[in-house]
């Protein structure tokens, strides 16, 4: 028999996925003083930054947001027109537990075993994804037409040894994990022959060196009916430079070509293992927050897992590691082991042990998943892959010189997008624009080699964001992009014309150099001078620029464009000139990365006098301005971090003259 409060909770939990619903449960004192089981449950479930019982006269309310299945509790008040206004909302959301013995029960939650994972659930996820999602998960848009890679080596989980893949198109599972600091088994030139012997991984010598995560993964893959597994430590010859380079440059395809990837995101390294595999690994301790209601109904917190990871937010956490960033990014299907419920993620759905399959929620996930792939869109806009760079560059690396190698897979994939490819993370096509990256919103710190030195060929050029750690930004070029409303708050700058010819070379003393393939200005001129569509790159459409249609756009004074351009792949994106769009399925040729730049340019000398003022910008702690004797701003500099700014201000008396060099003409 329901009480009124429990009846309201079940009713709100019954709302459709697309609906918003809320209701007042009653005065806090009345709700919590009841003899119904909800009284103690809500005292625990209504978790705010305050204790709910400390507000006995307040109203306790419940709500279900649009496009969510979970509900939240909150302290609220009523407006004169009977609208519910939430003053505090519970930190986590809860779902009603499904009861299969009740027909049409509205519950969306499932109570899994706290110790052991039901592998039949995993097999069901695999089967449903394979049979119902088909090509959407097998060949997502960012992988369409790209030939799958064949790893050089795999683990045969039946024969327990390292093997060469038996033919092309072989099915294999990949493992994404953190190595940690343990001295775990690695495949080297001296161990390769032994590891290729039948049952070598079960031999006492090698089994003792295998970390628990790899052991458990081998057993799990076999239990799920798969034959082959790819693990970096064992499938790459770790002391063979050529093998390392080959594999790092195709890392994105190794993970993308796997049938699914096991994400071992628990613990601080490979020794933690995959907990909860009955008969294969130790029991897990799945912390479930269950709240009793009347008549046998129960609620369960559905997003508590994020608070259960003791390493979350530290440099040891899986999601804080630089190497795992691209592994996660390029895995089409993920089986995620974390400190909460087991999760399956693919291009079409996200399923948890604690939730029933909800097609509407799956559709929402798929839509958001496609939005996250904008960095891999065929249109080579710096802004599109800007979302990848802060995500990668804020991760931790044990050895800072690994940054280019940890980004190599992403860079190789972006070679399919940017004509001329990338040079240390900068688009060569938009090279002058890319060089204008900055640390507008956060401090960045110079990366150094693990020995503390900065070598000639350490792979950490100071001119690239890869040579620095921290969140960086690329400018939104108003000469190329039409400014959208959601970008109107960004730094407004337009890149007009390059005034420098850039070259790249292996060292300052190199006798040979290569011209950087910057072409954005060439195509800008072609678009502006073209009188017919035949003169612009193929598959672009031209239309008249109407200022009233783009109120948030930004142009230099008197420099409004005449035409706009859009590409057939996405007519919603508008540009001010057309550029080549590569054939996504073509295999790019990866050029040699050389870390020194040279150029021929003009220079000028800026003399500082007693009347020159140097000061911080009020709107940015990392920016300084220089004013002349009459108070006119003559130079603005964005430095890498606040320490550099303070050092600059402290030492400004030592600067009597500056040498300025020109790189690009821009406006802002």
Contact 235, 151 (CB under 8 A): yes
Q: In this predicted structure, what is the pLDDT of residue 306?
A: 44
* R_g of the chain computed on alpha carbons: 29
Q: Residue 386, CB half-sphere, CA atoms under 13 Å: how many?
A: 18
**Interval 447-460 mean pLDDT:** 75
Contact 171, 227 (CB under 8 A): yes
Q: Is the pLDDT of residue 19 over 90?
A: yes
Phi, psi at 502, each rounded to 5°? -95, 145
Q: Is the pLDDT of residue 666 over 60?
A: no
> 272-320, pLDDT tens digit by residue?
999 999 999 999 999 899 999 999 999 999 765 444 455 555 566 788 8
Phi, psi at 10, each rounded to 5°? -65, -40
Q: Is the pLDDT of residue 653 over 50?
A: yes
**Interval 580-596 mean pLDDT:** 81
Range list of β-strands (E), 138-266 = 154-156, 161-163, 173-176, 228-230, 260-264
Q: In this predicted structure, what is the pLDDT of residue 658?
A: 63
Q: Which helix (H) or strand (E) holds 42?
A: helix 38-45
Q: In this predicted structure, what is the pLDDT of residue 307?
A: 42
**Interval 362-391 mean pLDDT:** 76
**Interval 115-134 mean pLDDT:** 96
On average, the pLDDT of the chain sits at 88
Token pair in block for residue 331: 């895995």
| Tally: H helices and E strands in the chain | 20, 33
> 204-262, pLDDT tens digit by residue?
999 999 999 999 999 999 999 999 999 999 999 999 999 998 998 899 999 999 999 99
Q: In this predicted structure, what is the pLDDT of residue 230?
A: 98
Cα–Cα distance, 611 to 26 (Å, whole number)? 69
585 vs 404, residue with greater confidence: 404
CA 640 to centroid of chain Cα atoms: 23
**Interval 568-587 mean pLDDT:** 83
Q: In this predicted structure, what is the pLDDT of residue 160?
A: 97
Cα–Cα distance, 168 to 165 (Å, whole number)? 7
User: Who's near 191: CB < 8 A, 6+ residues apart?
Assistant: none
Q: In this predicted structure, what is the pLDDT of residue 372?
A: 64
User: Who's near 92: CB < 8 A, 6+ residues apart?
Assistant: 47, 72, 289, 301, 302, 303, 304, 307
Contact 403, 394 (CB under 8 A): no
**Spatial CA neighbour of 460 closest among 470, 474, 446, 472:** 446
User: Who's near 319: CB < 8 A, 6+ residues apart?
Assistant: 265, 312, 328
Instruction: State the pLDDT confidence band at 12, using cuts at 50, 70 and 90.
Output: very high
Q: In this predicted structure, what is the pLDDT of residue 36?
A: 96
Token pair in block for residue 32: 């919590």
Q: In this predicted structure, what is the pLDDT of residue 380?
A: 65
DSSP-assigned letters across all residues of 229-266: EE-HHHHS-TT-HHHHHHHHHTHHHHHHHSSEEEEE-S
Instruction: State the pLDDT confidence band at 499, using cuts at 50, 70 and 90.
Output: confident
């Amino acid at each position: 028999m329901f009480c009124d409060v429990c009846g309201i909770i079940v009713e709100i939990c019954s709302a459709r996925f697309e609906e918003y619903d809320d209701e007042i449960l009653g005065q806090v004192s009345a709700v919590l003083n009841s003899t119904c089981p909800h009284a103690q449950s809500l005292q625990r479930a209504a978790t705010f930054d305050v204790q709910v019982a400390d507000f006995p006269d307040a109203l306790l309310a419940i709500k279900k947001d649009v496009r969510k299945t979970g509900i939240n509790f909150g302290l609220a008040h009523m407006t004169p027109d009977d609208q519910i206004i939430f003053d505090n909302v519970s930190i986590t959301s809860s779902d009603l537990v499904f009861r299969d013995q009740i027909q049409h029960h509205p519950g969306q939650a499932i109570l899994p075993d706290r110790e052991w994972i039901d592998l039949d659930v995993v097999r069901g996820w695999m089967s449903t994804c394979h049979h119902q999602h088909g090509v959407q998960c097998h060949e997502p848009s960012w992988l369409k037409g790209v030939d799958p890679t064949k790893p050089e080596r795999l683990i045969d989980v039946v024969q327990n040894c390292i093997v060469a893949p038996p033919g092309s198109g072989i099915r294999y599972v990949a493992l994404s994990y953190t190595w940690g600091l343990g001295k775990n088994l690695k495949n080297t030139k001296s161990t390769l022959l032994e590891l290729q012997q039948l049952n070598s991984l079960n031999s006492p010598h090698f089994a003792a060196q295998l970390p628990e995560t790899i052991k458990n993964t081998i057993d799990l893959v076999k239990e799920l009916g798969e034959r082959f597994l790819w693990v970096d430590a064992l499938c790459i010859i770790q002391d063979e430079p050529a093998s390392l380079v080959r594999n790092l440059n195709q890392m994105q395809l190794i993970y993308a070509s796997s049938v699914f990837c096991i994400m071992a995101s628990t613990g601080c390294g490979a020794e933690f293992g995959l907990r909860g595999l009955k008969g294969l690994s130790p029991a897990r301790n799945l912390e479930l927050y269950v709240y009793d209601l009347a008549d046998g109904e129960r609620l369960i917190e559905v997003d508590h897992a994020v608070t259960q990871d003791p390493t979350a937010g530290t440099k040891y956490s899986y999601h804080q590691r630089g190497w795992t960033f691209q592994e996660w990014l390029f895995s089409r299907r993920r089986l995620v082991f974390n400190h909460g419920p087991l999760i399956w993620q693919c291009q079409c759905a996200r399923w948890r042990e604690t939730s029933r399959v909800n097609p509407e929620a799956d559709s929402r996930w798929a839509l958001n998943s496609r939005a996250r792939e904008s960095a891999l869109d065929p249109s080579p806009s710096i802004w599109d892959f800007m979302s990848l760079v802060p995500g990668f560059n804020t991760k931790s690396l044990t050895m800072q010189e690994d940054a280019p190698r940890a980004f190599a897979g992403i860079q190789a994939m972006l070679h399919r997008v940017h004509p001329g490819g990338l040079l240390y993370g900068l688009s060569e096509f938009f090279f002058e624009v890319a060089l204008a990256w900055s640390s507008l919103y956060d401090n960045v710190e110079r990366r150094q080699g693990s020995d503390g030195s900065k070598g000639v060929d350490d792979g950490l050029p100071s001119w690239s964001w890869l040579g620095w750690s921290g969140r960086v930004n690329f400018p939104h070029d108003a000469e190329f992009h039409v400014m959208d409303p959601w970008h109107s708050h960004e730094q407004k700058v337009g890149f007009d014309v390059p005034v420098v010819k850039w070259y790249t070379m292996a060292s300052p003393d190199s006798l040979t150099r290569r011209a950087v393939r910057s072409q954005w200005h060439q195509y800008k001129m072609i678009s502006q001078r073209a009188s017919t569509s035949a003169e612009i790159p193929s598959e672009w459409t031209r239309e008249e620029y109407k200022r009233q249609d783009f109120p948030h756009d930004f142009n230099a004074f008197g420099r409004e464009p005449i035409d706009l351009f859009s590409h057939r792949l996405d007519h919603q994106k508008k540009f001010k000139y057309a550029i080549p769009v590569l054939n996504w399925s073509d295999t790019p040729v990866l050029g040699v990365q050389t870390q020194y730049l040279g150029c021929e340019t003009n220079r000028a000398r800026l003399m500082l006098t007693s009347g020159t003022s140097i000061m911080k910008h009020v709107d940015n702690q990392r920016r300084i301005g220089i004013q002349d004797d009459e108070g006119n701003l003559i130079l603005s500099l964005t430095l890498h971090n606040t320490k550099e700014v303070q050092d600059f201000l402290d030492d400004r008396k030592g600067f009597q003259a500056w040498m300025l060099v020109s790189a690009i003409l821009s406006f802002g």
